[in-house]
């Protein structure tokens, strides 16, 4: 007979067996037995957030920068509903999260008890799967299955709802492994066939205008995937562009890299996507911010799509060769097969793609990320560039909020390693970056972690500064402060006749004083010539910093694909703004 | 549409829709039907009818039959999305007009009618395996099994003859011959 232990203890046994080091959470009535048990399990450290959403994003930041699942512990009712934004965010961006929530005692479920809500009902559409535990003897199996579901296939969030009486009840504990054996996510465990690989290689050999389009799937597949990707790109000599989530899988300053694609991607990347004859999508999902107008998306290309999630294939764009696979596995086998027969491909194929590269260089000459700098006022792009130049020699981790600053960060900060860039892409959650930075710093002690933020976004989860101070996490909150919800303001300027409806924040806090009141350091930069020194000062401070970078209020984020236009009709800068047609306003 | 200022793309041309029957084998556990139905509503798919019951008592497997309509691309998505759900074991799909598939719906009709009228009604229902389940002087309850369109028509015909209550199931389906769905 195995020893009987309480549900709360089973939770920690499972966490220990899953090698969980950190949990992010917030206590409350319905999880008190689990919190009570915390003291007996020294290997699991709890990070107390100030709001469950903050705990959730911190767990996401932890997961994305470490490759391990993030664990979240919240109470019933409002604890669970506050976590919903983070769960949905993780669902959209494929981040492995395990959320454990307390629930009212079993006999009170359905009676509208205090702090009761239908947690599994509410979180059903924003998790890969969730469970309401009704028997303490099911608990260990469910918890291990939860970790497995979260981390296998296309990763994502799961939730385990544990009523308070189950946390007290005694039951058996067992470590379960490989519960999903036959069912990987999508439950198709594809063995890559040589026929598939040969088709892939043939398409590569036939193409004279190829492009690689890679995404978050490369990052999620682990650091090895980035290594193989770099090898494949150098073997083929092909150009490569990346989605927002894929940045860092391939070095941002490499000549074969065309920059990010999509609505605010570079001119060369988007034009190459439009004009190519072969598009090789590895671990991206043809998101609507990438494709623009679907009917006119890359009309003359053959398309290869590699994705671990079968339902991503053919969802938005029809492809010619679909391969359901983990990226690492695919790349490893593809490279091996490719090398066997195509020893001298790079040299022999150079001629074939020479014209294509010439064309790409012409597009590059447009220098689409250029902006008109100023000596009086800090341009936000300039601020990101300076931040990049002054931090690029360190192993720096960047998180962002959502909006203009996020796009500027993606455009001007050049990543050269995976897992260094944490941003909310799918859900677009303002308030993501600050708590995410907390999680990143916990997973990467001693590293420089910077949240490139907007002043509107960062106020949504500003309370988490208190968490950073409590755990001595020297995160840097680099706010590009233009007093506007910048992206909202930009669209209002371009599409709504400059009716800046509710996008200006009057009565912003003094961020320097705010920093001081949290017990961290506040720095303000107002002019371009003081910027470098202040950034250096920020980097040198071993405490959390809020950096109030006062930037041009009217700056817009370019280039952009205007509404209703295909990839080859971008607006490059303010002088072209007038060209947006009425019809075009739809797409933005 | 021309002047809309939405942040999203203009809808493309809609493909031709076709009616499909989706059969899903699931673990019969709490909330499983909500997961299936929620997937359909959340992603904007349509459920025309739904039938569900446990078919394997030992393994607790339920078989769900859903009639839906969509473009080939949407039908493909429905299958792939369903397959991703943890409690789903397998998904089968076929076109409504597939000749190798049998369909049946069951309907109960309560009709106010004297015995003379009752004979007439039985005649109308003859083709659809009628069974009288309850009978009184003034009323009776008749069960039929038929295709959806046939039951629709029957309902209209019986309205004139005193139909006061109708209860119908969703369609269930099975392949002809020796093979089974895979």
Mean of the pLDDT values across residues B5-34? 86
* pLDDT of residue A295 exceeding 90: no
Higher pLDDT, B15 or A487: A487
Is residue A554 left, alpha or beta, with left meaning phi > 0 and alpha meaning psi from -120 to 50? alpha
Place of tokens 């970056």: A433
- What is the pLDDT of chain A when averaged over all its residues? 94
* pLDDT of residue A161 exceeding 60: yes
Residue-wise pLDDT tens digits, B107-156: 999 999 888 888 899 999 999 999 999 998 899 999 999 999 999 999 99
> What are A's interface residues with B at a Cβ cutoff of 8 A?
120-121, 124-125, 128-129, 132, 134, 149, 183, 185-188, 288, 291-295, 309-311, 313-315, 318, 491, 495-496, 564, 582-583, 585-588
CATH of domain A380-550: 3.40.50.970
* A314 in Cβ contact with A324 (< 8 Å): no
Neighbour-count burial for A142-167, b at 16+ CB within 10 Å, e otherwise = bbbbbbbbbbbbbbbbbbbbbbbbbb
Mean of the pLDDT values across residues A221-241? 97
Q: What's the pLDDT at A399?
A: 98
Task: List phi, psi (to 5°) of A281.
Answer: -90, 115
B1 CB within 8 Å of a chain A CB: yes
Residue-wise pLDDT tens digits, B83-99: 999 999 999 998 988 99
Higher pLDDT, A577 or A134: A134
Mean of the pLDDT values across residues B64-79? 95
pLDDT band at B1 (very low <50, low <70, confident <90, very high): very low
CATH of domain A194-365: 3.40.50.1220
* A169 in Cβ contact with A11 (< 8 Å): no
* pLDDT of residue A580 exceeding 70: no
Closest to A187 (Cα-Cα) out of B22, B92, B78, B88: B88
Whole-angstrom distance, CA of residue A429 vs CA of residue A436: 11
* pLDDT of residue B68 exceeding 50: yes
Print the SS3 string covering B124-140. HHHHHCCEEEEECCCEE
Residue from B9, B29, B73 to probe the interface with A (highest A Cβ count within 10 Å): B9
Q: What's the pLDDT at B15?
A: 82
Contacts of B30 in chain A (CB under 8 A): 132, 134
* pLDDT of residue A186 exceeding 70: no
Containing A307, the helix (H) or strand (E) segment is strand A302-307
**Strand extents, DSSP E, A490-540:** 521-525
Whole-angstrom distance, CA of residue A512 vs CA of residue A436: 21
* pLDDT of residue A484 exceeding 90: yes
* pLDDT of residue A124 exceeding 90: yes
- Domain B101-174, CATH 3.30.70.1150 — does that match? yes
Interchain proximity B34–A295, CB inside 8 Å = no
Whole-angstrom distance, CA of residue A546 vs CA of residue B35: 43
* pLDDT of residue B3 exceeding 50: no
Mean of the pLDDT values across residues A380-389? 98
Of B5, B30, B80, the CB nearest to A495: B5
Q: What's the pLDDT at B8?
A: 73
Contacts of A562 in chain B (CB under 8 A): none
Q: What's the pLDDT at B142?
A: 96
pLDDT band at A588 (very low <50, low <70, confident <90, very high): very low
Interchain proximity A295–B12, CB inside 8 Å = yes
Highest averaged pLDDT of the listed ranges A112-121, A491-500, A568-577, B10-19:
A112-121
Catalytic residues of A: 52, 114-115, 164, 487
B14 CB within 8 Å of a chain A CB: no
- CATH fold for the domain made of A5-184: Rossmann fold (3.40.50)
Mean of the pLDDT values across residues A168-182? 88
pLDDT band at A2 (very low <50, low <70, confident <90, very high): confident
pLDDT band at B182 (very low <50, low <70, confident <90, very high): low
- What is the pLDDT of chain B when averaged over all its residues? 91
B8 CB within 8 Å of a chain A CB: yes
pLDDT band at A25 (very low <50, low <70, confident <90, very high): very high
Measured in whole angstroms, the distance separating CA A384 from the mean position of its chain's CA atoms is: 19
B83 CB within 8 Å of a chain A CB: yes
Residue-wise pLDDT tens digits, A525-561: 999 999 999 999 999 999 999 999 999 999 999 999 8
* A484 DSSP assignment: B
Tell me, yes or no, if the two domains B18-95 and B101-174 fold the same way: yes
Interchain proximity B31–A120, CB inside 8 Å = yes
Whole-angstrom distance, CA of residue A62 vs CA of residue A142: 23
Of B9, B31, B34, the CB nearest to A294: B9
Closest to A251 (Cα-Cα) out of A235, A230, A231: A230
* Six-digit token string for A578: 């007038």
pLDDT band at A187 (very low <50, low <70, confident <90, very high): very low
Closest to A418 (Cα-Cα) out of A266, A226, A547: A226
Q: Where are the domains of chain B?
A: 18-95, 101-174
Of A128, A310, A491, the CB nearest to B80: A310
Residue-wise pLDDT tens digits, A320-375: 999 999 999 999 999 999 999 888 899 999 999 999 999 999 999 999 999 999 99
Is residue A262 left, alpha or beta, with left meaning phi > 0 and alpha meaning psi from -120 to 50? left
Q: 3-class SS at A289?
A: helix
- CATH fold for the domain made of B18-95: Alpha-Beta Plaits (3.30.70)
Cβ contacts from A onto B, under 8 A = 74
* A341 in Cβ contact with A495 (< 8 Å): no
Contacts of A292 in chain B (CB under 8 A): 9
Q: What's the pLDDT at A460?
A: 98
pLDDT band at A189 (very low <50, low <70, confident <90, very high): low
Containing A451, the helix (H) or strand (E) segment is strand A448-454
Residue of B nearest to A183 (CA): B86
What is the 3-state composition of chain A as percent helix, strand, coil, each rounded to the nearest 5?
45, 15, 40
Whole-angstrom distance, CA of residue A428 vs CA of residue A445: 27
| Cβ count near B138 (within 10 Å) | 11
B13 CB within 8 Å of a chain A CB: yes
Euclidean distance between the first and the last CA atom of chain A, given in angstroms as a whole number: 63
Strands A22-25 and A45-48, by their bridges, are parallel
Of B2, B12, B42, the CB nearest to A294: B12
Kindly give the residue spans of alpha helices, DSSP state H, lying in chain B.
32-42, 72-84, 115-125, 148-159
* A116 DSSP assignment: -
Tell me, yes or no, if the two domains A5-184 and A380-550 fold the same way: yes
What would the DSSP string read from start to end of A563-577? TT--TT--B-SGGGG
* pLDDT of residue A586 exceeding 50: no
Whole-angstrom distance, CA of residue A351 vs CA of residue A348: 7
Interchain proximity A294–B42, CB inside 8 Å = no
State the pTM of this model.
0.94
Q: Where are the domains of chain A?
A: 5-184, 194-365, 380-550
Q: What's the pLDDT at A185?
A: 45
Measured in whole angstroms, the distance separating CA B42 from the mean position of its chain's CA atoms is: 20
């Amino acid at each position: 007979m195995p020893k009987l232990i309480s549900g709360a203890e089973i939770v920690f046994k499972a966490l220990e067996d899953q090698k969980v080091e950190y949990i992010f959470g917030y206590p409350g009535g319905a999880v008190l037995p689990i919190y009570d048990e915390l003291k007996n399990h020294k290997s699991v450290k709890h990070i107390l957030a100030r709001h469950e959403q903050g705990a959730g994003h911190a767990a996401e930041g932890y997961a994305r920068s470490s490759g391990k699942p993030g664990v979240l512990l919240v109470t019933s009712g409002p604890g669970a509903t506050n976590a919903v934004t983070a769960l949905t965010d993780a669902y959209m961006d494929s981040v492995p999260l395990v959320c454990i929530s307390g629930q009212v005692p079993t006999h009170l479920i359905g009676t509208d008890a205090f702090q009761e809500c239908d947690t599994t009902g509410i979180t059903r559409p924003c998790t890969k799967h969730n469970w309401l535990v009704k028997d303490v003897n099911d608990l260990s199996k469910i918890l291990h299955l939860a970790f497995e579901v979260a981390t296998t296939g296309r990763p994502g969030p799961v939730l385990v709802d544990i009523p308070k009486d189950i946390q007290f009840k005694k039951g058996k504990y067992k470590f379960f492994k490989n519960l999903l054996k036959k069912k990987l996510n999508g439950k198709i465990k594809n063995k890559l066939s040589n026929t598939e690989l040969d088709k892939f290689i043939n398409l590569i050999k036939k193409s004279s205008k190829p492009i690689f389009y890679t995404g978050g799937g490369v990052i999620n597949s682990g650091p090895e995937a980035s290594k193989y990707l770099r090898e494949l790109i150098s073997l083929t000599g092909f150009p490569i562009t990346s989605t927002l989530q894929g940045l860092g899988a391939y070095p941002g300053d490499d000549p074969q890299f065309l920059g990010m694609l999509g609505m605010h991607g570079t001119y060369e990347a988007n034009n190459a996507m439009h004009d190519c004859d072969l598009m090789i999508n590895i671990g991206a999902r043809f998101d609507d911010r990438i494709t623009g107008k679907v009917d006119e998306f890359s009309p003359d290309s053959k398309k290869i799509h590699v994705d671990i999630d079968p339902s991503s294939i053919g969802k938005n764009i029809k492809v010619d060769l679909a391969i359901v696979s983990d990226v690492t596995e695919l790349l490893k086998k593809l490279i091996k097969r490719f090398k066997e027969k195509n020893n001298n491909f790079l040299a022999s194929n150079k001629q074939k793609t020479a014209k294509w590269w010439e064309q790409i260089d012409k597009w590059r000459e447009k220098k689409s990320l250029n902006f008109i700098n100023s000596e009086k006022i800090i341009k936000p792009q300039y601020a990101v560039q300076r931040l990049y130049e002054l931090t690029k020699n360190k192993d720096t981790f960047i998180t962002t909020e959502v909006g203009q600053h996020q796009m500027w960060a993606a455009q001007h900060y050049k990543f050269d390693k995976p897992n260094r860039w944490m941003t909310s892409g799918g859900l677009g959650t303002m308030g993501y970056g600050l708590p995410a930075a907390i999680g990143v710093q916990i997973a990467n002690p001693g590293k420089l972690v910077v949240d490139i933020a907007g002043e509107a976004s960062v106020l949504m989860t500003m309370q988490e500064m208190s968490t950073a101070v409590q755990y001595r996490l020297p995160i840097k909150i680099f706010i590009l402060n233009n007093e506007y919800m910048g992206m909202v303001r930009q669209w209002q300027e371009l599409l709504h006749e400059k009716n800046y409806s509710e996008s200006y924040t009057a009565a912003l806090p003094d961020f320097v004083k705010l920093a001081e009141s949290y017990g961290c350091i506040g720095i303000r930069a107002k002019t371009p010539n003081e910027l470098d020194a202040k950034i250096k000062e920020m980097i040198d401070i071993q405490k959390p910093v809020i950096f109030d970078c006062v930037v041009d209020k009217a700056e817009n984020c370019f280039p952009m694909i205007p509404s209703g236009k295909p990839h080859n009709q971008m607006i490059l800068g303010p002088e072209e703004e007038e060209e947006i047609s009425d019809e075009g306003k739809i797409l933005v | 549409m021309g002047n809309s200022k939405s942040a999203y793309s203009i809808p493309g041309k809609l493909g031709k829709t076709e009616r499909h029957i989706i059969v899903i084998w699931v673990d019969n556990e709490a909330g499983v039907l909500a997961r299936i139905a929620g997937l359909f509503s959340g992603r904007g798919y349509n459920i025309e009818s739904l039938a569900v019951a446990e078919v394997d008592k030992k393994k607790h497997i339920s078989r769900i039959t859903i009639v839906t309509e969509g473009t080939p691309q949407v039908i493909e998505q429905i299958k792939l999305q369903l397959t991703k759900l943890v409690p789903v074991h397998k998904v089968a799909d076929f076109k409504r007009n597939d000749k190798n598939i049998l369909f049946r719906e069951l309907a109960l009709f309560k009709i106010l009618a004297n015995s003379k009228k009752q004979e007439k009604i039985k005649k109308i229902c003859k083709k659809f395996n009628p069974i009288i389940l309850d009978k009184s002087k003034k009323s009776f309850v008749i069960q039929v099994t038929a295709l959806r369109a046939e039951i629709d028509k029957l309902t209209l015909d019986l309205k004139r003859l005193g139909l006061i209550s109708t209860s119908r199931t969703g369609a269930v389906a099975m392949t002809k011959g020796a093979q089974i769905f895979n």
